[in-house]
Amino acid sequence: MASWRTDDTDGSGPHDLRGRRAIVTGAGRGIGAAVARALVDRGAVVCVVDRSASELETWRNAPVVQVAEDLSADRSARRVVAAAQRELGGVDVLVHAAAVLKRTPFFEVDYEDWELHIRTNLRSTFFLAQECARVMRDQGTGGRIVALASDAWWTGGHDGSLAYAASKGGVVTLVRGIARELAPLRITVNAIVPGLVDTEMLRGQLSPDALARQTAAIPWQRPAQPSEIARVVGFVVSDAAEYMTGAVFNVSGGLLMY
């Protein structure tokens, strides 16, 4: 296979992803779908993952590998990475965008709610990173791992998202620890922290009043579009970000400032 690094003499530049083999989870809609499209547009070969074939309907007849897998299930990460390795011939990039957000008032959160968020959002991050890192280590050419966190990791969440916020705080901690572990292998590990993003997940679970209140708190005065988050991911997985690892990229329109 080609080296991870791009030879700029061919005119491709440091942001080109031709020949890169990428897994994108949560790719059926929202941020994950936008990320997968951005990577395909930049020349990557992509394995799109979502919890069911129906969720991947948007990718019908597209030049991608489709894997239907519920990432809250035991050993799902192993199955996803094995399928991607078999179909793509290897793995150079992981973008883990899949997540669940079930808004529940504090006194109504039960064990099932809690476990759903931890399994889907946090546990899957660790094991997908572990399985991809094994492949990248054996390839010997480095790699890129990106996990989507949330502004809730910093704020603690709003409007019934406490379990979600806790899981996303864990994602940021994992990213920092895994980045240190994998740096000797030239595998970068970073977190993208969106604020409000105009997706079905956002609009489907907030009342118009809650959405207006949260939007008013953003200095940019609007939610992000999924494509705006995808462009940041495209940078982070490119050669232009080679020396950046363990970073938490705040893409919140000024909602968070740190």
For residue 170, is it within any domain?
A: yes
- pLDDT of 11 over the 50 cut: no
- pLDDT of 102 over the 90 cut: yes
The domain that holds 209 is classified in CATH as 3.40.50.720
For residue 6, is it within any domain?
A: no
Q: Which residue has the higher pLDDT, 11 or 139?
A: 139
For residue 2, is it within any domain?
A: no
Number of folded domains that form the chain: 1
For residue 11, is it within any domain?
A: no
For residue 167, is it within any domain?
A: yes
Question: Is 164 an active-site residue?
Answer: yes
* Distances 109 to 72, 101, 112, 119, 161 between C-alpha atoms, Å: 18, 12, 8, 15, 10
Q: Which two tokens stand for residue 91?
A: 């793995």
Percent of the chain with pLDDT over 90: 88
SS3 call for 123: helix
For residue 106, is it within any domain?
A: yes
* Distances 13 to 6, 36, 143, 229, 237 between C-alpha atoms, Å: 7, 20, 17, 21, 13
* Distances 123 to 13, 77, 228, 244, 249 between C-alpha atoms, Å: 35, 10, 27, 24, 21
Residue 204: which domain range? Answer: 18-251
Question: Quick one: average pLDDT of 36-64?
Answer: 96
- Catalytic pick from 111, 164, 243, 258? 164
Question: Quick one: average pLDDT of 197-218?
Answer: 86
State how beta strands 187-194 and 21-25 pair: unpaired
Question: Quick one: average pLDDT of 193-222?
Answer: 89
Q: What pTM, to 2 d.p., does this model score?
A: 0.92
What pLDDT score does 207 carry? 85
What pLDDT score does 112 carry? 97
d(CA 41, CA 37): 6
What pLDDT score does 12 carry? 62
Question: Quick one: average pLDDT of 29-55?
Answer: 97
- pLDDT of 10 over the 90 cut: no
Helix (H) or strand (E) holding 133: helix 124-139
Question: Quick one: average pLDDT of 227-243?
Answer: 97
Q: Yes or no: say if 71 and 98 are a contact pair by the CB < 8 Å rule.
A: yes
One-letter identity of residue 17: L
For residue 195, is it within any domain?
A: yes
For residue 221, is it within any domain?
A: yes
- pLDDT of 15 over the 90 cut: no
Question: Quick one: average pLDDT of 97-108?
Answer: 96
Least trusted range by pLDDT, from 15-19, 47-51, 205-209, 222-226 = 205-209
Q: Yes or no: say if 31 and 95 are a contact pair by the CB < 8 Å rule.
A: no
Q: What are phi and psi of 190, to 5 degrees?
A: -140, 160
- pLDDT of 6 over the 70 cut: no
d(CA 109, CA 117): 11
- pLDDT of 1 over the 60 cut: no
